[in-house]
């Protein structure tokens, strides 16, 4: 289960974020919506343990992030959380498969060719495994970013604007792919976006509508 409680964060004293509490169980998914600059990526980074809250807690399957040293948190993230970043974070000098092997290595996992082939096949990019990341088309890079997030069987998948630069056809394909993959691995899926098209695909939504500490936000469903 993913659970947040009284999450506060500030980049500076003038802009304070207070995020609503929510819980998500395995196989559940949630869309976090809100206008540009409202704090969606900030919340996603708190859920990934990439940012530490000023106060409040994030718990994933009983592990409270605040109880982990930064090294332990990095390993925990590598093993349990898959992140689809807004801009794919590949090492451009490496091939797609080398990037995926590296992700397995960094999570202290054994090199697993079967898993790699399975993920690439499911995402329809198996023929590109020997290609360098920058040679892939935008849509292929998007799917490769999902492969990178899924390779280590995460229990939580976090996706930052995975469809914002895609046309309608690829937008549905990518969202269905994320939902399918989450379902297949009993993972939780959190997608943040300002892409209103996703409202038709995801039913559990959390709308961020303000970020001062005196205006707690509400969870909608």
Ligand X SMILES: Nc1ncnc2c1ncn2[C@@H]1O[C@H](COP(=O)(O)OP(=O)(O)OP(=O)(O)O)[C@@H](O)[C@H]1O
Residues that bind ligand X (CB under 6 A): 11, 34, 36-42, 194
Q: Which is nearer to ligand X, 11 or 105 (CB)?
A: 11
Q: Which is nearer to ligand X, 151 or 174 (CB)?
A: 174
Q: How far is the CB of 139 from ligand X (least distance, A)?
A: 21
Q: How far is the CB of 33 from ligand X (least distance, A)?
A: 10
Q: Which is nearer to ligand X, 96 or 208 (CB)?
A: 208
Q: How far is the CB of 38 from ligand X (least distance, A)?
A: 4
143 within 8 A of 121, measured Cβ to Cβ: no
65 within 8 A of 2, measured Cβ to Cβ: no
Q: Which is nearer to ligand X, 81 or 120 (CB)?
A: 81
Q: How far is the CB of 15 from ligand X (least distance, A)?
A: 6
């Amino acid at each position: 289960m993913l659970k947040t409680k009284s999450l506060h964060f500030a980049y500076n004293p003038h802009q304070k974020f207070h995020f609503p509490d929510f819980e998500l169980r395995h196989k559940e998914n949630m869309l976090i919506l809100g206008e540009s600059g409202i704090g969606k990526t900030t919340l996603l980074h708190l859920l990934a343990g990439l940012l530490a809250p000023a106060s409040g807690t994030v718990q994933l399957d009983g592990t409270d992030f605040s109880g982990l040293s930064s090294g332990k948190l990095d390993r925990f993230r590598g093993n349990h959380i898959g992140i689809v970043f807004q801009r794919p974070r590949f090492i451009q000098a490496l091939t797609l498969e080398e990037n995926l092997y590296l992700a397995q290595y960094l999570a202290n996992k054994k090199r697993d060719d079967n898993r790699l082939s399975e993920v690439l096949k499911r995402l329809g990019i198996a023929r590109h495994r020997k290609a360098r990341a920058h040679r892939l088309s935008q849509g292929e890079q998007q799917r490769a970013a999902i492969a990178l997030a899924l390779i280590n069987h995460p229990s939580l998948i976090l996706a930052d604007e995975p469809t914002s630069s895609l046309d309608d056809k690829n937008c549905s394909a990518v969202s269905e792919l994320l939902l399918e993959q989450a379902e297949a691995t009993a993972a939780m899926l959190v997608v943040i976006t300002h892409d209103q098209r996703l409202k038709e695909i995801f039913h559990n939504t959390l709308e961020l509508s303000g970020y001062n500490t005196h205006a707690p936000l509400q969870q909608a469903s």
